[in-house]
């Protein structure tokens, strides 16, 4: 039987998995996926956006080994400064499971105007708590909650995190929870 590949717009509040804790929301709620489906990489429960799925373990390993760029749009607390963006670009020290880690240099820039995404199922916060801004961060690595730790390290905690691109594959206007079957991910 041929392998199948999918793109999904993972909504806020869902795990990037198909089995696990009974009380948690999982990706299988959005589509009747084939047996053996797996996520290539992960987005934490609080993050949203593009997730690649496949039934082919070799394809999963190939995509991960290519170190595809992953681009994220982050809504941060406050008006992010040029100095903070420069720090993100140069790499910052974060903690990963209690160990200090220096992130590799990355691409980062302010997004102005702010991107327009569908409203999140849970409100982020009230305007009375001050301004927010958006920044694009593009990585080739992927440590545990890395983007959130990076923006916090430069003084601008992440309020909303959306993965918009993996390699040459874009989220585009795919609606939250929408699934598209694709021929592959361009790495065959």
pLDDT tens-digit readout, 130-180: 899 999 999 988 888 999 999 999 999 999 999 999 999 999 999 999 999
The SS3 call for residue 72 is strand
pTM beyond cutoff 0.85: yes
Query: What's the domain range around 18?
Result: 5-66+169-182
User: Which H/E stretch holds residue 113?
Assistant: none
Q: What is the number of H-type helices and E-type strands within the chain?
A: 3, 13
The size of the chain, in residues, is 188
Query: Which residues share a beta bridge with 76?
Result: 133, 158
100 and 148 within one domain? yes
pLDDT tens-digit readout, 3-36: 999 999 999 999 988 887 778 888 888 888 999 9
44 labelled catalytic: yes
| 44, 112, 126, 173: the active-site residue | 44
Q: Is residue 49 part of a domain?
A: yes
Read off the CATH number of the domain in which 98 is found.
3.30.70.1560
156 and 81 within one domain? yes
């Amino acid at each position: 039987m041929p392998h199948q590949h999918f793109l999904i717009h993972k909504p806020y509040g869902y795990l990037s998995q198909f089995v696990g804790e009974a009380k948690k929301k999982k990706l299988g709620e959005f589509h009747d996926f084939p047996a053996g489906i797996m996520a290539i990489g992960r987005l934490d429960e609080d993050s949203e956006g593009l997730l690649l799925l496949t039934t082919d373990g070799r394809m999963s390993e190939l995509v991960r080994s290519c170190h595809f760029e992953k681009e994220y749009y982050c809504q941060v607390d406050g008006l992010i400064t040029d100095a903070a963006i420069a720090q993100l670009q140069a790499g910052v020290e974060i903690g990963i499971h209690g160990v200090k880690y220096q992130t590799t240099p990355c691409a980062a820039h302010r997004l102005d105007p702010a991107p327009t995404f569908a409203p999140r199922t849970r409100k982020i916060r009230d305007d009375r708590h001050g301004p927010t801004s958006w920044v694009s961060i593009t990585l080739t690595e992927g440590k545990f909650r890395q983007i959130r730790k990076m923006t916090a390290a430069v003084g601008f905690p992440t309020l909303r995190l959306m993965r918009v691109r993996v390699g040459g594959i874009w989220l585009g206007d795919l609606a939250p929870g929408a699934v598209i079957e694709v021929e592959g991910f361009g790495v065959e």
